[in-house]
Structure 1
Amino acid sequence: MTTLSTLKKFKREGTKFTCLTCYDAMFARMMDKAKIDTILIGDSLGMVVQGHDSTLPVSVADMAYHTANVARSNKHALILADLPFMSYVTLPEAIANSRQLMQAGAHVIKIEGGSELCDLVSTLAQAGTPTCVHLGLTPQSVNVFGGYKVQGRSDDSADKLLSDAKAVVAAGAALLVLECVPAELAKAVTKAVAVPVIGIGAGADTDGQVLVMHDMLGMVYGRVPRFVHDFLTDERNTEHSIDGAFALYQQSVVEGSFPMQQHQFD
């Protein structure tokens, strides 16, 4: 089974690894078969499963329910689970809500923010709860950003993101996620920290890659994000199946054929 030690070994050796969002037992079984390295029970379920316009309405109970569904069928992947919007404003509620997700089957708790999370990261680490800190475009802050926009393009914002990454790792973060940041900045962050870094719209030089499962299966209505590739209809998916799409994604990330130049931001 994939563990944090496995991912650290991958980083040391330069081996790329995969992550996909998952919300139920059946898809978890299929990802297990494809040997997807890590699974994220993302608050993206608010949009792709529940039909909301953003991730903000998702509750801790929602996250625990879907985490348990995935955990029952998972044998191979490291499981990350999102703490949803406003569920970790204070330390006591963050601890209680993290406990709920870990007891549901998560191995790592994912939170969004920067250096302001250091106390929480440290507290959870001391309590035996690893964290993954999500930097860059953080969907829970969509109203602060004024929409879904690339982050870290100015010198000041790039410096802050790099500083935040170093701070949360020093506080004890076990993993980082970088979303929608320029590829060169993502490369610099990945080199600057000792923990594995997972990218989405962050170029090819992060240690791992994550996509929303529905996106990589072509289940996108409206504008397709730049960093998405449809692995279901890819001609290399000779099975023309979801199983084949997951296996092709795993293969493409590990061999370095995904993401490509067209999937990144400059």
Structure 2
Amino acid sequence: MKVPFSWLKQYVDIDVTAQELEDKLFGCGFEVEELIDLGGEISKVVVGVVTECVPQEGTHLHICKVDCGEYGHDIQISTGASNVYEGMHTPAALDGSTLPGGIKIKAKPLMGVESNGMLCSGEELGLNDDLYPGAEVYGLLDLPKDTVPGTPIQEVVGLDDYIFDISVTANRADCQSVLGIAREVAAVLGKPLKMPATDYTVSDTTDDRLSITVEAPDLCPRYIGHYVRNITPGPSPRWMKRQLALCGLRSISNVVDITNYVMLEIGQPMHAFDMDTLESCQIIVRRAKDGEEITTLD
């Protein structure tokens, strides 16, 4: 299972590096199959501010002067991106930089004009909209105006993180969640565990259409359903999209995402059903019948 370092830190005050924690997890019996450095393939890519943007005559290119802080305040970079504009804050891959996939960026002429790097899209940094808003827009990644020129791009877009890919054995079902791993981390570091909030308000509203029957208690000894109303489907908050993306899940909607989030967080499988779209509001847990076929959700 994939466990983000940043998510673990929400439950434990971790005072060691990701590499040191990897060793400690090995020491207490957890096989870390891989420690993934999200921004490890990226080097010398920083926040750049386009201070001048002039179309290059006879081409689709724009010749830009870019302020990259300590790396240079007047770096000339050519770009073919149609959404570039003066005052734009965007990732600048400088001469000698590296992008995901081992792509090397070198200073070279473009259409006869010297270009000392490349301005980047979100895709070129390995991002999607769940990891960073606007990353899938066609063209350059438009960063907030308060980002500081010269700041490593990993710090700005959240790539300064690690993912622990942990092999959890079948006898440790209690560790098949971020909270379960965090409990082990707290123990090995001698730190207190911060439990997530589980408080909620119950109303008196019920719906008589909802019923649950378990016909195979040997396979499923317990199945719980809860009626929730006044739900407005929509996009999830940015922090939730990011957490799911780091664990390998794409955001779908707030209703679906919260069930996936809770499953990853505490290890409780969940699913949300829209009662208005079901033929019946009876949930029946049973074995398949001989010759029975089903259509899956996907």
Would the TM-score normalized by the shorter structure come out above 0.5? no
Q: Which protein shows a greater Rg?
A: 2
Question: Which is helix-richer, 1 or 2?
Answer: 1
TM-score normalised over the length of structure 1: 0.26
